[in-house]
Amino acid sequence: MSRAFVDGPVYTRKVRLVDPKTVLAIHAHPDDVEFQCAGTLALLARSGHRIVIATMSPGDCGSATLPADEIAAVRRTEAAAAAKLIGAEYHCLEFRDLAIFEDLTSRRRVTEFLRSISPDLIFAPPAEDYLCDHEITHRLVRDACFAAPVPNYRTHHWEPSPPMAHIPHLYLVDALEGLGRDGKRHGVDLYVDVTDVFAVKREMLACHASQRDWLLKHHGIDEYLNGQEEASHKRGEEIGVRHAEGFRIYRGHAYPHDDLLMALLPGHVMYKS
Ligand SMILES: [Zn+2]
């Protein structure tokens, strides 16, 4: 794998935009973002926007051999390294695996985090996915988007961030392997052609060596990187390009309905005809 993607000027923020946006990709565990929207983030980073990647947990259940605290430390480092490849920040909200619940404390924590970043556009998990942490993260982020601009909604943080100016644009990423719980294709609204940044998407996922090695040992094949490529390729086939990522725009009442992503990435966003 070429290291040119690490140090080269292509994927770091060299472009000065008149109106740079802040884009937050938040998902449950380290590596989820790399599977579902890292190509789109690489394109946005290349265009000069500020990119923030966040995970709800540090992936503390992601090892059969290391104790929770040790694997969590490893995976925070891996996630930060992946983010760095595109000049992105990385944050962990420090929930724990299989312990993400929709309750008042969690909603306040996620709302406070959104206010601290103040994103224009958010990528979040879909409503339906194979894992409870993904689905609860969807609900917490979706509702924190609504709460973040509400001045009287207090987060009880010791140093609270100001309310956001408005509800951010909310895009829901694909389900794992592009499949719903019924095994059928997960529905997406729009596609981003990530063919010309697929190499950096792959390299970002490869930063998660603890997970890749575990699967390699367990399955005897590089299922981790192969799975990412297969899913991107399948979405690409649906619009006639080599690699794509699929999304849905969340259009609940009061959420922005226009396609900001289309405006930010002209020529890369496509709808299936
Ligand atoms: Zn996950």
CATH of the domain at 184: 3.40.50.10320
Q: Residue 183 C-alpha to ligand 1 middle, in angstroms?
A: 17
d(CA 74, CA 208): 9
- From the CB of residue 99, how many other CB atoms can be counted at a distance below 10 Å? 13
Three-class SS of residue 218?
helix
- Report the b/e string of 36-57 with b at 16+ CB within 10 A: bbbbbbbbbbbbbbbbbbbbbb
Alpha carbons 89 and 83: distance in angstroms, whole number? 6
Q: What is the pLDDT of residue 12?
A: 54
| Residue numbers of the chain with a pLDDT score lower than 70 | 1-16
**Residue 15, in any domain of the structure:** no
Residue 64 Cα, ligand 1 centroid: separation in angstroms? 16
191, part of any domain: yes
Q: What pLDDT does 214 receive?
A: 79
Q: Do the beta carbons of residue 1 and residue 203 sit within 8 Å?
A: yes
- pLDDT tens digits for range 188-237: 989 999 999 999 999 999 999 999 887 887 777 788 899 999 999 999 99
- Decide if 3 is inside a domain: no
Please give the distance, rounded to the nearest whole angstrom, from the Cα atom of residue 110 to the centre of ligand 1. Answer: 17
Query: How many domains in the chain?
Result: 1
What distance in angstroms lies between residue 4's CA and the mean position of ligand 1's atoms?
28
The per-residue pLDDT for 11 is: 53
- pLDDT at position 4 is 36
Q: Give domain status of residue 81, yes or no.
A: yes
Q: What is the largest CA-CA distance in the chain?
A: 54
Range of the domain at 139: 21-252+266-270
Distance 28 CA to ligand 1 centre (A): 5
| pLDDT at residue 102 in the model | 98
What's the gap in Å between 17 CA and the centre of ligand 1?
33
Distance 187 CA to ligand 1 centre (A): 19
- Quick check: is 101 in a domain? yes
Instruction: Judge whether 239 lies within some domain.
Output: yes
Strands of 57-198 (E only): list them.
89-92, 121-124, 169-173, 190-193
User: Would 259 be classed as within a structural domain?
Assistant: no
Residue 12 lies in a domain: no
Distance 40 CA to ligand 1 centre (A): 18
Expressed in angstroms and rounded, the spacing between residue 126 Cα and the centre of ligand 1 is 12
